[in-house]
Structure 1
C-alpha cells in the first residue's frame, strides 16, 4: 500500500511540474481560414488542408521551420517560415465528403516545403523532405479550446501508451516532452463504417478526460504552486522509500556530508547515487542484437552532406533511473545535438560499396579520402577480420549493470599525487588512452582498464611489458591513414607486437567521427584529441561519467608519469585543446559529467 501511495504522489508531482514549466504549441488561425480540398502529400493523404500558425501559449513562440531545416520558434507574427500546412491523414479511396477523420495530421512548412517529424525513440524534433511514420501527429482538441499535437507510439505495456508532444522551451528551442497515460482495452470489434476503432476512441477519451479533471481540480497557477508545496511536504514525511533506501539512509544524505571533507569527492556523488544492487545487476539471458544499417539523418545543415549520419537502429534508451542521458536530452545547450543513437562502430555488416562511396568524399578519419587512395577492398577485407559488433560494450557472458558507471582517464600531469586511484577503480568501466601506464601509479590513476583507445603511434616509447594487453579489455581504434588498415590487418593476423585479442577490437565509424568533430567540437583542427574521442565514446554509452587527467596546463608536468617536469606544448593545427577544455567545463557545470579539476580549472 505504501509503495502505491509513493508512486501516485510522484506521478502527481511530475504532472504538476510539467504543467507549470512546459509549454505546448497550440493551434491558432493565420489570417483568414484557408481551408480547401486538395491532393495530399502522398497517395494516402488528401482532404481538407488548413493553413495555420502553431502558437505556443506558454511563451509566445510560433513554431518555425527554417530553409536549412532547423526546427525552432519565432515571436515574429506571420513570419513566412512559421506558416504551416496541416494535412489530414485519411483514406484517399473515398470521396472528400465521406472520409472519416481519425485525428491524425501531417505538418509541413508552407514556405520551406519541409515536413515536421518527431524521433519516436528520443522525442527530438526534426524536419524531413520526405514524410514518414514519424511525421504523423495526433491532433487533440483540449477542453480549453486549444489543440495539442503528439505521437501515438505504444509502450512495451499493453495498458499504457506514451506520447511525445510537440513543445518549445522558453528560448524557442524544441523541447522533449512526453506523458505516459493509461488506456482502456476492449475486445469489441471496430465499426469500419464509423471511423476509428473503439479502442482508439477510448484511449483518446481517457487521456482527454484525465487531463480535464486534473486541470479543473487544480485551477489557477497559484493553486499549482500550493499543491506542489503540499506534495513536497508529503514526500518528506513519507521518508526514504520515495528516493530509495541505501543502508537505512536516504539519497539526500551522503552528498552534502562527503563534500565537506574533500572537494574531489564531489565527482563521486553521482557514483554513490547508484545503488550497489544496480551496479551488480545481471542479465544472464542477454543476447546482443544483430548489427544492421539504420536510416540516415541530418543535423545542423541539411544542404551539407558532412552533417549526414547513420543511425544505429539497435540503440535503446537507458533504463538507469539517473542516467546522464536524461540530463543531456533536457539540456538547452546539449539537448539539440545529443544523439547517442549515432552509429559509433563500423563492422562488416554495416559496410558495403554504397556506404564506401557515401563516405568517400571526406578525409580520414571522417571518411575514406586520403592522399594515398584507400580502396573499398582494403576497408572491406580489414572489417571482415574483426567481429561484427556495433557497440563498445560486450555483455555476452558477463554481468550487465543497469546503471553503467564509467571513468575516462587522460594522461595529464595533474593526476600525479592526486590519490584518485581507489575512486577510479570503483567504476564499472575504465577508459584509458595512449601510454596508459598504471604500474607504479596505482594510487593516483588506479589499476583497472576495460577500454583502451589507441592508434598505431600510441605506444611509441613504451616497454613491451607495459603494454595494456588483456582478454578483458576492449580496444577502440580510429583509422586516420592508409597505413592504419595495414596495422589493423597485422593485429587480426596476430603478427603485431601489440598482441591484443582481435575479437576485442572495435573500429570507430567515420560518421561518428564527423558527428563529434563538426557537431560537438566545431573546430578547424585536424581532429579531436584521442582523449576527446574517448570522452565522447563514454558520454554516448554510459549512465554516469567521471573525467580525470583531462585538460592540459602548465602548473603540472605534461604527463603524470614524467620523471621530471615537462611543460605542455600544443601542436598547432592538430588539436584544439582550449575548445575541449570549455566543453568539459560545460558538461561538468550542467551535471552531465564530473570533471576532476584539482586546483587548476
Structure 2
C-alpha cells in the first residue's frame, strides 16, 4: 500500500511540474512583443536543415526566453516584477542552419526614435510625392546604436551581421556595445539663416569622377559624406576637399591605407570637427570599437595589437563617433535593396555596399542629396576607382554586393527627384517610380 501511495504521489508531482512549466513557457511566449517563437516556428519549417535540429532549437529558444511574466518594452528598457527571472541570451543561431536568408514575423519591424526634425525646406526629399518612396521611407527609424538590453539582444540575434548578432556570443560583443555612447546631438546640426535646407553631397570612389571637375560643386554643399578609401589630395578638382561625415568599417579604414598608398592615400579624412560613422560589419568591428573606446590596443581578431585611435589622425572624439544601428541597416536592405541573392546559398554575406548605406544615412539626415561617383548605366566606360588615372580598369563585382540592383535604384531615385545622381552620359528616362522591395 505504501509503495502504491508513493507511486501515485510521484505521478501527481510530475504532472503538476509539467503543467507549471507549460504555463510559464507559453505565458511568456505570448508576452514577447516581437513574436519570436511564432516567427521561429514559421521559419524552421521552411529553412532549417534537419528535423532534429529544428526540434532542439525550438526547445532551446523557448527555454532561454523565460522571464516569468516580465514586461518587455520596445524602447530598449525593460521592467520586471519582483522575483522575476532575468532574461538570458537565446541559444546562438548558426547561419549554416538556413538555406537562404530567414524571414521572421518581425523582420520588417524596427526601433524608432523621436519624431524627426520638422523641415521648412520646400525642396526637401521628405516632401516627395513619389508613392513608392513614401511607403518605403521611415523618417524616424533608429539610426545609431548604443547600450542595449537582453530583450534587444535576443531580437537582433535572429539576424546575421551586419543586421544583427547571429552567431555572436553575448558576453564578447557586449564588451564593446556597452561602451558605445548614446548620441547627445544629431549627426548634422540644423542650418541657421533664411534658407533652412540641409544640402548634402555623398561622394563615392567610382571612376566616373576622373576628369569630372566636380570638386567645386561638391564642396558647395552644406555637408559632404565620404566612405572607404576617400582619397582627396591630388584629386580635389574632381572630388572636392571637404569631408563632414566619414563612413567606414574596421576593414575599410585599415585596408585602404595599403591598397591606395600608391595613389597618394595616407589616411582617412581628418577635417576638424569631422563626424565618424561606423558600420558594425562583424565581430572584428566590435573588437575594434572596444580598443577605440578604451584608447587601447585591439585584444583579438585580425587587428590584434593595432591601436584604432591612430587611424583617425587625432580627430577621434567620443561625442563625434556614431555606430549605425542594425535596424537601420536592415531597413535599407529590406525596403530598398532586397536582393534576390538573399535566396542563394551564399545569402549570409550579401549586403548593400558601404556607399549605399551612406546614401541612406544622408537621406535620413538631409533635405537634398546629390550623389557623385556611384555606378551609372554607362559604368563600363570608366575605371573602377577615380584614382586610377593611368590605365582603365574594369569594375569588380564582388559576390557580397548586388551592384546592378544598386545602380538601378540610384537611377530610380534620380528620376523621381529624390536624389541628384551625377551622370556623364544621361540615359533615356525610365520609370520614375521607386518601388519598395519587400
Q: Do both proteins adopt the same fold according to a TM-score greater than 0.5, normalized to the shorter chain? A: yes
Is residue 339 of structure 2 the alignment partner of residue 515 of structure 1?
A: no
Distance 1:392 1:360 in 2: 27
Report what 1:567 is aligned to. Answer: 393
- Deviation sequence 1:351-385 (CA, Å, 0-9, x none): 21111111111101111013xx331x444332343
Deviation at 1:394, TM superposition (A): 4.6
Residues 76, 152 of structure 2: 8 Å contact kept: no
Distance 1:596 1:484 in 2: 32
Distance 1:394 1:413 in 2: 28
Residues 413, 561 of structure 1: 8 Å contact kept: yes
Distance 2:120 2:210 in 1: 36
Which consecutive residues of structure 1, in runs of 5 or more, have no partner in the other structure? 1-291, 295-301
Report what 1:374 is aligned to. Answer: 169
* 1:400-479 equivalent positions in 2, closer than 5 A: 402-459=196-253, 460=255, 461=258, 462-463=260-261, 465-479=266-280
Q: Which structure shows the higher helix fraction?
A: 2
SS in 1 for 2:287: helix
Is residue 117 of structure 2 the alignment partner of residue 316 of structure 1?
A: yes
Structure 1 residues 392 and 532: alpha-carbon distance in aligned structure 2, compared to 1, 3 A threshold: farther
Q: 1:326 aligns with which of 127, 134, 143?
A: 127
Distance 1:379 1:419 in 2: 44
Distance 2:184 2:173 in 1: 17
Report what 1:342 is aligned to. Answer: 141
Report what 1:486 is aligned to. Answer: 287
Residues 267, 311 of structure 2: 8 Å contact kept: no
Distance 1:505 1:331 in 2: 33
Is residue 158 of structure 2 the alignment partner of residue 361 of structure 1?
A: yes
Residues 406, 430 of structure 1: 8 Å contact kept: yes
Output the aligned Cα RMSD.
Answer: 2.6
Deviation at 1:528, TM superposition (A): 0.2
Q: 2:375 aligns with which of 551, 554, 560?
A: 551
Deviation at 1:469, TM superposition (A): 2.3
Distance 2:321 2:177 in 1: 10
Which consecutive residues of structure 2, in runs of 5 or more, have no partner in the other structure? 1-74, 78-102, 296-306, 343-349, 428-438
Distance 2:176 2:117 in 1: 28
Residues 420, 444 of structure 1: 8 Å contact kept: yes
Structure 1 residues 382 and 319: alpha-carbon distance in aligned structure 2, compared to 1, 3 A threshold: farther
Size of the aligned set, in residue pairs, is: 297
Residues 397, 403 of structure 2: 8 Å contact kept: no
Distance 1:374 1:392 in 2: 31
SS in 2 for 1:407: strand
Deviation at 1:434, TM superposition (A): 0.6
Report what 2:316 is aligned to. Answer: 501
Report what 2:403 is aligned to. Answer: 577
TM-score by length of 1: 0.46
Residues 392, 506 of structure 1: 8 Å contact kept: no
Distance 1:409 1:420 in 2: 10
Residues 226, 243 of structure 2: 8 Å contact kept: yes
Q: Which structure shows the higher strand fraction?
A: 1
Residues 227, 246 of structure 2: 8 Å contact kept: yes
